[in-house]
Amino acid sequence: MYIGKLGDGSSFDDGIYILLKEVLDNCIDEFVMGHGRKVDVHIEGSRVEVRDYGRGVPLGKVVDVVSKINTGAKYDSKAFKKSVGLNGVGTKAVNALSSYFKIESVREGQLKRAEFDTGVLRKDEKLQATTEANGTRVVFEPDEQIFRSYQYREQHIERLLWNYCYLNTGLSIHYNGQKYQSKNGLLDLLQVKMDGEPLYPIIHLRGDDIEVAITHANHYGEEYYSFVNGQHTTQGGTHQGAFREAVAKTIKDYFKKDWEAGDVRTGIVAAVSVKVIEPVFESQTKTKLGSLEIEPGGQSMRSFVGDFIGRELDNFLHKHPDVSEVLQARILQNERERKELSGIRKLARERAKKASLHNRKLRDCRLHLNDPKKDDRKWDTTLFITEGDSASGSITKSRDVNTQAVFSLKGKPLNCYGLTKKVVYENEEFNLVQAALNIEDGMDGLRYSRIVIATDADVDGMHIRLLLMTFFLQFFPDLVKNDHLYILQTPLFRVRNKKETIYCYSDEERQRALMKLGRTAEITRFKGLGEISPDEFKHFIGPDIRLEPVMITKDAQVQHLLGFYMGKNTPERQEFIIGNLKVEKDLVEEAESVARASVVKSIAEKLEANEVEEV
């Protein structure tokens, strides 16, 4: 209920990051109230330490605020009316889900410390004198019995910390020795998030309890980053809906044109942040805003956002006719492309419906996003995109039919780099993938939270993987940027003897398995997913599933990457491949190393058994 899901750390919304966020939220609340401009974060392995320099939790409430319900530290309800943390349920959930949890509070030369494990109080120390600066320190280790085989990923942590900085100019966060700070808020955010140059300079508008940044880029779809009271609402909500509506209306009114809203917004990249009193979210993890009003009984969210955009964006466009000219050209281009595709889209939808019903391209799951009675658990669904009938058959027989769907590709997809969106509708496989995901009209209709590419671990499988990644990056980049695309990791080897079976995902794991089971162990190299039996596959797509997220790093230039790897630059790419080949000599040395290790282990075992003569 409180952390959304468990996960192993591969997804940005896995529980271990929610635990970190809950602790950080309290630090941000202190900053917002003017108490402490610095937060220290240190993560090493599974241990997380967060230290703020605010007022510190009241010394008499240190134990209660992290262990007892209805004891949140709302020291000043008026002051904290637009906060997200409040030392409420969040830190109690962190405590309960941690194998080790410590809280320290420093106030005016006195320190109070308490320690817990799995939510149970183990140490409640007396007050002691200290020279430390005021503030609160929380140390925790997520419980490995709950979060199995988890690992903190730098990319997800950095994104979380940067979002706090973008939304709180003047705040500095020091993470493992590196400083994070933003001077220009959402303007900085868009500059970092954008792939390539914007069509016109980013429009940055600020008002009371609202901040927005807007531009257009040369790509398809709409890309939004929305926030409420500093909380990243990854699933949008009423504020994002009001913003999308207001932007389209204001631009149409400015040009006095009755354009379709989709033509106005295609290619938009925007961020919006609002402050709401007593916000209502659709889940405890606060990923989607449900509030219809800016405050209980006050102005509606729609009119609040609409009035601000209608006034400020209109003023900006009148003052900057050069921006207006570029914007109009992009809208007219979108309109032309839409009209050119209208007939093709209709035929493509009919083909997709027929294929899904009769050819069984898509084996759907029972829960999906377009269910009008959906709840947050139904957002946790997966679509596996597989190659061929054998692989899709194995996954189909092994999957959880409630939350996991399977789409079967026919042959290798087209290399779509540099092509227009017309190819999506004319190419049967691309059209059917788009229809299965329900993203023809944008990400709002996306039916699965995870799209997992599941291909064989051979040259053909890797090629298909690259072609699919190119497809999504070319036509649906926001799907990748919002962390919906993953690669399924399946074992390369099975090493077993009569007593034990070990599945290995790399040569290193295979070597360790041989050391453990002995040189007489049987080794099977899986060449394709179809070779893995459904009974075995259950282990690889169940609770212990290994997913590698497809992520766009801060410095990545997507079009440059696609041009190099998928474009027509054969000589440069050939040089790159030759320079990175693993030559035969390396492979031989690796094999000899494995053999030596196995022999040494065998000798040691015989010596231990006193079989000296045989040795």
Q: Which long-range contacts (CB under 8 A, 24 or more apart) does 533-538 make?
A: 533/394, 534/394, 534/397, 534/398, 535/398, 536/494, 536/503, 537/394, 537/395, 537/397, 537/398, 538/398
Q: Which H helix or E strand runs over 39? A: strand 38-44
Q: Which of 126, 269, 270, 221 is nearest to 434 (CA)?
A: 221
Rg, C-alpha atoms of the chain: 27
Of 128-142, 174-188, 247-261, 355-369, minimum mean pLDDT range:
355-369
Please enumerate in sequence order all residues whose Cβ is within 8 A of that of 531, keeping only pairs 6 or more positions apart, or say none. none
Most confident of 202-206, 419-423, 527-531: 202-206
Which residues are CB-contacts of 529 (< 8 A; sequence separation ≥ 6)?
Answer: 386, 387, 390, 391, 394, 395, 454, 455, 456, 490, 537
- Whether residue 445 has pLDDT greater than 60: yes
| Chain center to CA of 110 | 40
Residues 233, 296 contacting (CB under 8 angstroms): no
* Nearest-angstrom CA–CA distance, 214 and 171: 23
- Span 424-442, average pLDDT: 87
Dump strand ranges (E) for 354-403: 362-363, 382-387
Q: What is the mean pLDDT of residues 445-450?
A: 87
Q: What is the pLDDT of residue 375?
A: 45
Average pLDDT in the 79-90 region?
Answer: 57
Report the C-alpha gap between 459 and 466 in whole angstroms: 11
pTM of the model: 0.76
Return the H-helix or E-strand segment holding 117: strand 110-117
Quick: pLDDT tens for 304-318: 999 999 999 999 999
Place 165 in a pLDDT band, splitting at 50, 70 and 90.
Answer: very high
With contact defined as beta carbons under 8 Å apart, do 338 and 422 qualify? no
Give residue 187's pLDDT: 96
User: Which of 121, 30, 145 has the alpha carbon at shortest distance from 76?
Assistant: 30
Q: For the chain, list the domains and their CATH numbers.
A: 15-180 (3.30.565.10), 186-336 (3.30.230.10), 359-490+526-567 (3.40.50.670)
Percent of the chain at pLDDT above 90?
A: 45
Confidence of residue 378 (pLDDT cuts 50, 70, 90): very low
Minimal CA–CA distance to 86: which of 160, 27, 16? 27
- Assess contact for 49 and 76: CB atoms under 8 A: no
The alpha carbon dihedral of 370, 371, 374, 376 has a sign of: negative
Residue 563's pLDDT band, with cuts at 50, 70 and 90, is confident
pLDDT digits (tens, 9 = 90+) for 111-157: 999 999 999 999 999 999 999 999 999 999 999 999 888 999 998 99
Which percentage of the chain shows pLDDT scores above 70?
Answer: 87
Confidence of residue 72 (pLDDT cuts 50, 70, 90): low
Contact 48, 140 (CB under 8 A): yes
- 284 compared with 189, residue with greater pLDDT: 189
* The Cα angle at residue 211 between residues 208 and 217, in degrees rounded to 5: 160
Instruction: Read off φ and ψ for residue 450, nearest 5 degrees.
Output: -125, 130
State the pLDDT confidence band at 579, using cuts at 50, 70 and 90.
confident
